[in-house]
């Protein structure tokens, strides 16, 4: 059944190369690129803490040392480093490597560069809504989905079709859909079953969940911002100036 019990752990994807964000990422990892004076990953950590997360696991690879040093400054949340310095494992492989640090309970998976403005007309944050909607009895994973037509910095064709019952399916080749993955989800330990070894994408685990009708989506409320380039970062800063 659905529950709004706190989800106390999260895996944050921090190991990417940040190639499209160059030249900013020539000298710093993308999670440390500042948005309005605060590293991107700090926006994520503050958001997670606000909904009760007490432990985060962050994978590191590119320019890992400064990111690890920065994360060690956190004293009010447990931080565990999943070290991928020797081999970048992609999103799914990184999750599997980090999984021994996860308790046997649901957890957030959060991109380190996922940025949005909350809908000021609602009381619940998007992460709170995600927790409230999550049903571990019928879901392997619940994804937050942004409307691609109203998102900042996104020009793709969308990722998923959202069925009336909340389940997701892939858009077909050449098809367009309204919804794009907003960079955060909740998953159960069952989501990891049947994962391959070595580097692989989270898409593999999403497809497994789709085949079992256990991948669900929730519509994002507010302004989602795809901060993939220096130009998009500048636009995101302009949109979020003065917004708490």
- CA end-to-end distance (rounded Å), the chain: 33
CA dist., res. 130 & res. 214, Å (int): 15
Q: Tell me the whole-structure pTM to 2 decimals.
A: 0.93
pLDDT value, residue 238: 83
* The two three-digit tokens of residue 199, written as one number: 């580097």
* The two three-digit tokens of residue 152, written as one number: 């900042």
CA dist., res. 124 & res. 129, Å (int): 6
| 8 A C-beta contact, residue 30 and residue 112 | yes
* The two three-digit tokens of residue 6, written as one number: 């706190």
Q: With pLDDT > 70 as the criterion, what percentage of the chain qualifies?
A: 97
pLDDT grade, residue 11 (50/70/90)?
A: very high
Average the pLDDT over each of 59-63, 128-132, 177-181, 228-232 and give the range with the smallest value: 228-232
Cis omega (within 30 of 0) on the bond before 23?
A: yes
- The sign of the torsion formed by the CA atoms of 168, 173, 175, 181 equals positive
Domains (ranges, CATH) in the chain? 9-240 (3.90.550.10)
Q: 61-118, pLDDT tens digit by residue?
A: 999 999 999 999 998 999 999 999 999 999 999 999 999 999 999 999 999 988 898 9
């Amino acid at each position: 059944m659905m529950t709004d019990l706190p989800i106390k752990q999260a895996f944050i994807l921090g190991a990417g190369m940040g190639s499209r964000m160059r030249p900013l990422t020539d000298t710093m990892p993308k999670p440390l690129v500042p948005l309005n004076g605060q590293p991107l990953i700090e926006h994520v950590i503050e958001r997670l803490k606000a909904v009760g997360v007490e432990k985060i696991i962050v994978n590191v690879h590119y320019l890992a040392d400064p990111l690890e040093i920065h994360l060690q400054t956190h004293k009010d949340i447990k931080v565990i480093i999943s070290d991928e310095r020797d081999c970048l494992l992609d999103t799914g492989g990184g999750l599997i490597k980090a999984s021994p640090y996860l308790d046997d309970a649901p957890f957030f998976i959060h991109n380190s560069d996922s940025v949005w403005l909350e809908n000021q007309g609602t009381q619940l944050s998007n992460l709170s809504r995600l927790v409230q909607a999550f049903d571990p009895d019928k879901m392997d994973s619940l994804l937050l989905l942004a409307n691609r037509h109203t998102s900042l910095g996104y020009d793709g064709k969308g990722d998923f079709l959202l069925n009336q019952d909340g389940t997701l399916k892939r858009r077909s080749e050449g098809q367009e859909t309204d919804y794009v993955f907003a960079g955060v989800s909740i998953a159960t330990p069952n989501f990891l079953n049947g994962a391959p070894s070595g580097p692989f994408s989270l898409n593999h685990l999403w497809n497994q969940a789709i085949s079992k009708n256990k991948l669900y989506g929730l519509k994002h409320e507010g302004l989602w911002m795809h901060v993939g380039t220096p130009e998009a970062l500048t636009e995101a800063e302009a949109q979020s100036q003065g917004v708490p």
